[in-house]
Structure 1
Amino acid sequence: MKQFALLLLLLASCSMSHSAFAAKDDVVDTYAYYGFTPDIVTNYISNRKKLGFVKISVELMVKAPEDLVVLQHHDPLLRAAILEILGAQTEDKVKSLVGKEEIRRECYEAVNRLLQQEVGKPLVVNMLFTKYLYD
């Protein structure tokens, strides 16, 4: 009976120490999102006689909430890059799902390239278009 109690005590202590080590080893990322306000609106190259326009809401995902201050500081630069990319697109690309993803990827890469130049590292983990309207 004494041996059983000792074994039970030993197992309980191993279990508690294992959970204490597991908690220290588990790293949890705290993602944060930066949204451009107001929405980004620009014209694109249209196949018709009238100008086409696109209006998007963009959310930038970063790993650390501290990075939001950097994004806010560089908001005008990042917004201008996204506007430039959108304005150079054709109507067919703007209106297709594949084209939308290509535009998003191009904007994501441009934003990270600019952040690399300005702060020395790419901060954006993902870019989301939460609203995508065109005419």
Structure 2
Amino acid sequence: MRFGAIYLLLALSLVVTPFSAPAVQASSDVFYIPMQPAFVTNYGGPGRLKYLKVDMTLMVEGGRSAQVIEQQIPLIRNVIVMNLARQNENNVVTASGQERIRQQILQVLQEALQREVGHPVVTEVLFTNFIYQN
């Protein structure tokens, strides 16, 4: 009976997936926070569906900022998904367009976090994977 409860607990712990991985401290004051799971959305407006999958990591300065990010995950994910869904094909398929998307996401995240917690928190957005299907 005891082993059955242990197996059940182990199985349940494997099913639960976190919204983001733990922050990784790069230096005494810089933290990298991977946004997991990856962002998958359609883009490009009406017509044939086009898909985009983006893995990204947020860079913040200070342990307090890392905690704020962890607390604001739903807001952050919403802002990112909405921004990705509004992109046009030219932004998605070119390197300069992808850089524009990265800068836009940084700007809208900073604005949203400024409104929500009183400071921009995120210092950089890093794409670790960028896959599109058009």
TM bucket (normalised to shorter chain) is: 0.7 to 0.9
Q: Which residue of 1 aligns with 2:112?
A: 114
Runs of 4+ displaced beyond 4 Å: none
**What is the match of residue 34 of structure 2?**
35
Amino acid at match of 1:32: F
- Cα separation, partners in 2 of 1:46 and 1:134, compared to 1, 3 Å: farther
What residue in structure 2 maps to residue 88 of structure 1? Answer: 86
The normalised TM-score by structure 2 is: 0.74
Task: Give the aligned partner of residue 59 of structure 1.
Answer: 57
Number of the residue aligned with 2:48: 50
Q: How far apart are the structure 2 equivalents of 1:103 and 1:73?
A: 24
- What whole-Å deviation, never above 9, does each CA across 1:72-115 have from its counterpart, x for those lacking one? 11111111111111111111211011110001100000101111
Asked whether the 8 Å contact 1:29–1:63 carries over to 2, the reply is no
Code of the residue aligned with 2:73 in structure 1: it is D
Asked if the contact 2:45–2:86 (Cα under 8 Å) also holds between the matched residues in 1, the reply is no
Distance in 2, matches of 1:34 and 1:114, equals: 17
Question: Identity of paired residues, percent?
Answer: 33
More strand by share: 2
More helix by share: 1
Pairwise CA RMSD: 1.6
Letter in 2 for 1:77: L
Q: Distance in 1 between matches of 2:45 and 2:94?
A: 14
Task: Count residues in correspondence.
Answer: 107
**Larger Rg: 1 or 2?**
1
- TM value normalised by structure 1: 0.74
Structure 2 unaligned residues grouped into runs of 5+: 1-26
